[in-house]
Chain A
Amino acid sequence: MIRYLLRRLLLFVPTLWAIATITFFLVRLAPGGPFNAERAIPEAARAQLARKYGLDRPLAVQYVTFLGRAARLDFGPSYEFPARPVREIIARGVRVSAELGGWALLVALLVGVPLGIVAALRQNRAADTAVMAVALAGVSVPNFVLGPLLVLIFSLGLYWLPPALWEGPQSRILPVLTLSAAYAAYVARLTRAGMLEVLRQDFIRTARAKGLPERLVVLKHALRLGLLPVVSYLGPAAAAVITGSLVVEQVFAIPGLGRYLVNGAFNRDYTLVMGVVLFYACLLLVLNLLVDLAYAWLDPRVELG
């Protein structure tokens, strides 16, 4: 177990290096540069900025400097917000995004898993159809429709909740609901599918035949294996949800991390993009490692590594 963990952690290094390297060259291949704007910048000023940020040096030098700094988690200042280091932008943004994402994941699991179980146990009956119908609505109503719709109803129609801004517990409700809807739907669908696979297997039949109470069979024996697809899905989903959702953050004016990747991409803010991508990559690797550990915990027959 310890050896497995160590090996996986060591593997983080080449994986992150590959991500950093490809991204480094990818962002520089995109047309335009960080200092273009509608209002043309004087040539002298552009040259000065390039010198200031080391963009006038050969690409290889830039790359080596970048790797050295990235190893120390130093990405330098953002080009677009010169008074703010990228590290600070990420630290501030992720606090908000992680809170929003954490709640959304929790809601998605608390809603999705029980619904999925109920649907599986009542396969092809009314309860199943109803649950799956709701789940499908959750998937097919995209968050850029759902968010404004919730605002129209609950903020501007009923005056129950604030329409936007991140302040106070009330302001959390609509963004969390908006963000969690699609995830809850995925979780419910995958739980149902996973449970259906498991419920038909021999050991469940054996357990039932032995006269174990149905609740015990379902919750103790079937659920562990039935949740495997959900757990697989959760690794990448959690990484995405913690680094923030552009749409939800924009609709609800939430100062999270989600908008930085896309806006940074549009502004060719290389340092910001590199920082956010590597942060996301670290998170993803850690979560996927946790997922792999969870496999072994849920199904003791699974061998690690």
Chain B
Amino acid sequence: MMKRTRTAAIAALGLGVALAASACAGGGSSSGGGSSSSGPVTLTFWTNATPGPGLTYFQNAIKTFHTLHPHVTIKMQTIQNEDYDGKLQTALNSNSTPDIFFQRGGGKMLAMVNASKVQPLTLTAADKQNISAAAVATESVNGKVYAIPLDVQPEGIYYSKDLFAHAGITATPTTIPELEADVAKLKATGVAPIAVGAKDAWPAAHWYYNFALRECSQATMNEVGATLKFTDPCWTKAGNDLAAFLKVKPFQAGFLTTAAQVGAGSSAGLVANHKAGMELMGAWDPGTIQTLTPNQKPLPDLGWFPFPAVPGGQGDPSAMMGGIDGYSLSPNAPKEAFQFLEFLVTPDQQKLYSQAFVTIPVNKASQSVVTQPYSVSALEALNKAGYTMQFLDTQYGQNVGNAMNAAVVDLFAGKGTPAGIVSATSEAAAKG
């Protein structure tokens, strides 16, 4: 009897130790196998793709790759987008780093590069043919490539052709004064002119990014990436432009508590249900809108036009904001992991990818599959663009980007000033 009690106590103590130990260790299945390997290879692959055509695409791509290289098995793990960064960070700091992982780029990638947590890649001539130099440049740090981009997501304004026609708008606006006139026409018909999901901050901040893109020269914007000093007057001018634009009250009522992508009340949902005329968003928007229409089918009258020109700005009026989705390798990932990324940017795979994710593939040879009118407009604008600039919260890193986003929301809410955006970004530099 007594003996049993003691055994139980020791067992309980052991369990406690085990619990504490496992909490600290956090799993340890390392799969990094050096840079060359000949026997069977198992790779781990992390993506933020959600169930649906996108996930099915990756499953099929992994199967096809396995047929081509029977000794390579790829294990895919999907992670919910908002959980992704935290889990990846934990994994990168431990020994359980995934071999291939979704890469957001920009300042996030820079932090990984600085900590040597990501593998530099050497592109072959064939790779360079598959991926445009501009796309490669956005995935590079100091001339070294750290991720393979799969698609480009140029930003512009998605609008409802029916609502525009109903308001008597015959041509899409090309300047901000024209846009303001269209806002007034849409208002008169009783719909919200522009939807914005300010609760998520970045959708509101994208308006500031695009005004900055029009006001600031390419050189200025690139320089700031290195110095993080927003001293050029164009940054305040962009804020003044936005403040003036906000005066015409272009956004839906209650925009501050509207989310961007979740539910019929979100900004994408307002466009999907013809409650709002337009929204400024990246190329993933049609896919999001599609899931929020009453019948979950693509919005038939969806159109696209680039962000209007700002009279007197120093930026190229054709320049575009955009994002890029890429994939990186962990420092110890074997060469087969790189082969898989090379495989993903081949023309056939890129066509399938683009169809599954409803985006513009990074491989120009595959862009023929882009047929929806809004994507064709976006693609044409992209191919004509003088240059593309990554979303500023990516370009300038999470810390400064985060502060900029929050300051723009304050301006939207009438609480902040254009100068406040500049000072908030400078103050953020003190925190990290």
Chains A and B come from one and the same complex: no
Interface residues of B (CB under 8 A from A): none
